[in-house]
Chains A and B, each alone.
Chain A
Amino acid sequence: QQQVKQSPQSLIVQKGGISIINCAYENTAFDYFPWYQQFPGKGPALLIAIRPDVSEKKEGRFTISFNKSAKQFSLHIMDSQPGDSATYFCAATTSGTYKYIFGTGTRLKVLA
């Protein structure tokens, strides 16, 4: 029940295309859902996050879509660029705890 399942494991997209990464969770107590971006040799960095009181959040080319009833959330990268090539992790946690549950990661490659 504590897992966050992330798919796909890897993704190749043409420059200008849309990248979509999906995550699903079971624990209905989760109330904060961030996405982290990690470049090779670096630590993860927060990209965008959402709370379940909204169904969508957009920041530039990055959008989180959240479906509370299905217990799923996804990251959409519009107009994908080679500089977006990185590993993306979804995560979930519950307010009042200090324990993020991370997905297993998606390695995105955007072809020029």
Chain B
Amino acid sequence: NAGVTQTPKFQVLKTGQSMTLQCAQDMNHNSMYWYRQDPGMGLRLIYYSASEGTTDKGEVPNGYNVSRLNKREFSLRLESAAPSQTSVYFCASSLAGPNTGELFFGEGSRLTVL
């Protein structure tokens, strides 16, 4: 049972390049999330998907797009990367809403934008 799997684990981009972070969960969870973690800032929600077919903005959505491809997969896309998007990105999932149980996090994707 892999839980939440993120790819890639590491990525270096040049300013203006695009890329997609992939996330898949095998726990049959309804809700999925993308967070970014920056030193001294904690975890900040970028986008979330309450259920298959829906997506909504979190605290810091600018510069990102998401796709809930199916119940298992939730991808995060950077269309034109900027140095301010250098961060560690975490995907998470939960069974229903976050208040009905815990968030299960992946191991993170470390992105550097030069």
Contacts and interface: CB of A to CB of B under 8 A. Distances in A.
Interface of A: 6, 9, 31-32, 34, 36, 41-46, 49, 89, 91, 93-100, 102-105
B85 to A, nearest CB: 19
B40 A104 contact: yes
Given A34-B102, A43-B92, A43-B108, A99 B45 contact: yes
A98 B92 CA distance: 12
A99 B99 contact: no
B42 A103 contact: yes
B11 to A, nearest CB: 16
B41 to A, nearest CB: 6
A interface, over-half SS:
loop
Given A43-B90, A98-B98, A89 B107 contact: no
Contacts of B19: none
Contacts of B102: 34, 46, 49
Interface in B30-79: 31, 33, 40-45, 48, 50, 56, 58-59
A73 to B, nearest CB: 15
Contacts of B108: 41-43
B41 A43 contact: no
Contact of B58 (A41, A94, A99): A99
A97 B103 CA distance: 14
A26 to B, nearest CB: 16
Contacts of B99: 31-32, 93-96
A93 B43 contact: no
